[in-house]
Chain A
Amino acid sequence: GDSVTQMEGPVTLSEEAFLTINCTYTATGYPSLFWYVQYPGEGLQLLLKATKADDKGSNKGFEATYRKETTSFHLEKGSVQVSDSAVYFCALISVYGNNRLAFGKGNQVVVIP
């Protein structure tokens, strides 16, 4: 079945540091890929998405490129802020999955001033 794998463990970094969160996927066909962000005590917000190979999603300084050859959708931001502290979820929807999102386990990102 469809699945998403995110790197293990929380990520702690200093303000203005470079952030990378790895995400790889397994899916039938050509899924749409998403990054969602969850701030403390809140629901999920769509951060960015990409629907086909080589597409780059971007929003609020975050970027992720749909890499079909490596089945990856890594999230990057060049200079993080304290306000970026949140949990980040990688997810996919496959055309064969009845619109059901498959989520990764999420990564807690803590940005220290």
Chain B
Amino acid sequence: GAVVSQHPSRVICKSGTSVKIECRSLDFQATTMFWYRQFPKKSLMLMATSNEGSKATYEQGVEKDKFLINHASLTLSTLTVTSAHPEDSSFYICSALPGAVLAGERDTQYFGPGTRLTVL
């Protein structure tokens, strides 16, 4: 159980286009999802916290107009990179926090497999 999927797994786009990444919790409901960005050989950088039915909370330095987050349901959050540029190329990872206690796993985040974005 506790599986999180991301789609697409890999995307290549031209500079100036927008890209949408989906994060789904497949077998549990997630009131909170998180979006991270990972640079090569670096740790994960938290970009924003996404709560179902409310506006996302962005970390300092993350442009909310560039990285649009929508958490429309208890199993789906989307990250849209608007007007992407080469510097947005990165590995984007989401995680989901179960809304209900799953056998004592209340504080455990479950991660998606990541999305590799390359902007040409």
Contacts and interface: CB of A to CB of B under 8 A. Distances in A.
Contact of A89 (B44, B97, B112): B44
Interface in B52-105: 93, 95, 97
A100 B49 contact: yes
Interface of B: 4, 6, 32, 34, 41-44, 46, 49, 93, 95, 97, 107-114, 116
Given A99-B107, A103-B44, 6 more contacts: A43-B112, A46-B108, A46-B111, A51-B107, A89-B43, A106-B43
Nearest to A105: B43
B6 A93 contact: no
Given A43-B93, A106-B43, A101 B112 contact: no
A36 interface: yes
A105 B97 CA distance: 22
Nearest to A31: B107
Contacts, number: 49
A9 B84 CA distance: 32
A103 B46 CA distance: 9
B91 to A, nearest CB: 9
Interface of A: 32, 34, 36, 41-46, 49, 51, 89, 93, 98-101, 103-106, 108
B107 A36 contact: no
B43 A46 contact: no
Given A34-B108, A46-B108, A49-B108, A99 B32 contact: yes
Contact of A43 (B41, B49, B114): B114
B112 A104 contact: no
A43 B113 contact: yes
A70 to B, nearest CB: 22
A87 to B, nearest CB: 9
14 contacts: A34-B108, A43-B6, A43-B111, A43-B112, A44-B93, A46-B110, A46-B111, A89-B44, A93-B107, A93-B109, A99-B107, A101-B46, A103-B43, A104-B43
A98 B42 CA distance: 23
A17 to B, nearest CB: 23
Given A42-B114, A43-B6, A43-B114, A101 B43 contact: no
